[in-house]
Amino acid sequence: MSAEATTKPLRSDAQASRDRLLAAAKELVAEEGLDVLTVVAVARRAGLNRSTAYQHFPQREQLVDAVGAQFARELRDLFSEPRELGEQIDFFTHHFREHPDIARIWMFHLLRDDEAISKPGWDQYVAALERLADSRRSQEGIDAEMLCVIGMTSALVWSLMVRQRAKSERKARTETDRFARELKRLFLYGALRPEHWPELASSLEE
């Protein structure tokens, strides 16, 4: 059964325990990757006993799926917030940099060929770029889905690369600004009609 499947509502204390476990799981993934993600390790990080953790997640796979499903819901909500393209690129490149657990869990489900987990956020993203591609502000013949692949995968991979390249938070922000700038340039001159995006073009000239 999918982690998104409808289940019986949890009592408030049980829901609080589940939320603590998921938060702890996300912290572990961000710090050390999926290899260390076990029910016992998550229980220890959350400050809960093993039996409580196993009541929520009897198997490690169920825990991984639940974390992936939460990421999908969070991404779907983030994509639904209205932003101009340049602002959107800045937001997500920095958001992914600050949350490397997103990249790790996304790639895990991608390699596992688990479409059910990643699809909600992905569909929202594709729909937004399809609307952009259909507008007069874009060049003709854009393959919106492939443009999504370029934008999303590069931003996710960058979120992991920058952790190796940058030795400080300030350096990581600066390097991510460089990455976002070139991604905006790629969109502006490879997919859009620059004359319809004067503010974006101007920001690249500064």
Q: Examine the pLDDT at 5 and tell me if it is beyond 50.
A: no
Class of domain 61-205 as given by CATH = mainly alpha
Q: Where are the domains of the chain?
A: 10-58, 61-205
User: What mean pLDDT do residues 1-26 have?
Assistant: 71
Determine the distance from the C-alpha atom of residue 37 to the mean position of all C-alpha atoms in its chain, rounded to a whole number. Answer: 18
**Residues 204/192, Cβ–Cβ less than 8 Å:** no
CA distance 39 to 23: 13
10-58 matches 61-205 in fold: no
CA distance 59 to 57: 5
Q: Examine the pLDDT at 152 and tell me if it is beyond 90.
A: no
The per-residue pLDDT for 34 is: 77
Structure confidence by residue, pLDDT tens digits, 69-81: 887 788 778 777 8
Between 157 and 33, the more confident residue is 157
The per-residue pLDDT for 116 is: 46
Using the 8-state DSSP alphabet, how is residue 196 labeled? G
CA distance 89 to 172: 16
DSSP structure string for 147-171: HHHHHHHHHHHHHHHHHHH-SSHHH
CA distance 195 to 100: 35
**Token digits of residue 90:** 């800045």
**Residues 18/56, Cβ–Cβ less than 8 Å:** yes
CA distance 96 to 103: 7
**Residues 191/147, Cβ–Cβ less than 8 Å:** yes
Which residue type sits at 83?
R
- Residue 172's pLDDT band (cuts 50, 70, 90): very high
- Residue 1's pLDDT band (cuts 50, 70, 90): very low
The per-residue pLDDT for 58 is: 94
The per-residue pLDDT for 121 is: 66
Tell me the Ramachandran region of residue 204: left when phi exceeds 0, alpha when psi lies from -120 to 50, beta otherwise.
alpha
Structure confidence by residue, pLDDT tens digits, 25-62: 988 887 877 788 899 999 999 999 999 999 999 999 89
Structure confidence by residue, pLDDT tens digits, 124-145: 788 888 999 999 999 999 999 9
- Residue 175's pLDDT band (cuts 50, 70, 90): very high
CA distance 44 to 7: 26
The highest-confidence range among 65-69, 76-80, 158-162, by mean pLDDT, is: 158-162
Beta bridge partners of 138: 192
Percent share of the chain, pLDDT over 70: 89
The per-residue pLDDT for 65 is: 85
**Residues 103/152, Cβ–Cβ less than 8 Å:** no
CA distance 107 to 114: 10
The per-residue pLDDT for 173 is: 96
CA distance 112 to 3: 15
Q: Please name the CATH architecture into which domain 10-58 falls.
A: Orthogonal Bundle (1.10)
